[in-house]
Amino acid sequence: MNNKYLYEDLLRMSGVNPKKCMRCGKCSATCPAYDEMEYHPHQFVSMVENGDIEPLLNSDSLYKCLTCFACVDRCPRGVEPAKLVEAVRLAAVRKQGANHLKADSVPDMLDDETPQQLIVSAFRKYSK
C-alpha cells in the first residue's frame, strides 16, 4: 500500500473499519447524491481499504456528499461510509493551499435566499 500513513490516519480520524464492509452496496443504493458523485459511497470504503486514496482526494465527489447519514443508518455492517467520506474530505482540505472554498469566491455564489448559517457551515466543512 503506497499510502499506509494516510490510510491509518483516515481510519483514526473516521473511526471506520473498512474491513467490516461486505460489499452489499446498500450505502450506494440509499445515497441521494449518487448521480453527482464520481466515486460512490461503497467505492470510498473499498478504495480506502485498498489504499487507493489519491483518486478520492482529487475527486469532486468529496464535496457532493450531503452528510445526510442515510448510508450510516442503513449499512448492515455498521461501517458508516459517510464518516470515511468526511475523513477523506478533511485530509484533502488540510493540505497546503487546498481549501475547497475561498472567501473570494463566495460573493458570486450568493443569492437572497442563502442563509448565513449555510456559509458558515460551508467554511467549516470545506476549508481549513
Partner 1 sequence: MQRIGVFVCWCGSNIAGTVDVQAVSDALKNEPGVVFSTNYQYMCSQAGQDMIINAVKEHNLTGIVVCSCSPRMHEATFRRTAQAAGLNPYMVEIANIREQCSWVHKDIPTGTEKAIILGKAAVAKVNLNTPLTPGESPVTKRALVIGGGIAGIQTALDIADAGFPVDIVEKKPTIGGKMAQLDKTFPTLDCAACILTPKMVDVAQNDKIRIFSYSEVTDVKGFVGNFDVTIKKNARYVKEDICTGCGACVEKCPMKKVPNEFNLGMDNRSAIYIPFAQAVPKVATIDPNACNMLKNGKCGLCARVCAAGAIDYTQKDEYIEEKYGAIVVATGFNPISMDKFDEFAYNQSKDVITSLEFERLTNAAGPTAGKLLRPSDGKHPHTIVFVQCVGSRCDACAEKGKEYCSKICCMYTAKHAMLTRDKYPDTDVYVFYIDVRTPGKNFDEFYRRAVEEYGVHYVKGMVGKVVPEGDKLKVQASDLLENKQLHIDADLVVLAAAIEPDKSARPLATMLTASMDTNDFFTEAHPKLRPVESPTAGVFLSGACQGPKDIPETVSQAGAAASKVIGLLAKDKLTGNPCIAHSNELMCNGCSSCERVCPYGAITYEDKEFRMPDRTTLVRRIAVVNPAVCQGCGACTVACPSGAMDLHGFASGQIMAEVDAICK
Q: Is 78 in the site for partner 1 (CB under 8 A)?
A: yes
Which partner, partner 1, ligand SF4, none, binds residue 35 by CB below 5 to 8 Å per kind?
Answer: partner 1
CA dihedral 5, 90, 74, 77 (to 10 degrees): 10
Which partner, partner 1, ligand SF4, none, binds residue 66 by CB below 5 to 8 Å per kind?
Answer: ligand SF4
User: Among 102, 33, 96, 98, which residue's Cα sits nearest to residue 70?
Assistant: 33
Q: Is 76 in the site for partner 1 (CB under 8 A)?
A: yes
- Give the number of residues in contact with partner 1, rule: CB under 8 A: 22
Which partner, ligand SF4, partner 1, none, binds residue 19 by CB below 5 to 8 Å per kind?
Answer: none
- Site residues for partner 1, window 43-62 (CB under 8 A)? 43
Is 66 exposed, middle or buried (CB count within 10 Å of its CB: 0-12, 13-18, 19+)? exposed
Q: Is 62 in the site for ligand SF4 (CB under 6 A)?
A: no
Dihedral sign for Cα atoms in the order 88, 94, 98, 101: positive
CB 3 within 8 A of CB 54: yes
Using CA atoms, how far apart are residues 96 and 41, in angstroms rounded to an integer? 26
Q: Is 30 in the site for ligand SF4 (CB under 6 A)?
A: yes
Task: Give me the residues that bind ligand SF4 (CB under 6 A), please.
Answer: 21-27, 30-33, 41-42, 45, 65-71, 75-77, 79, 81-82, 85
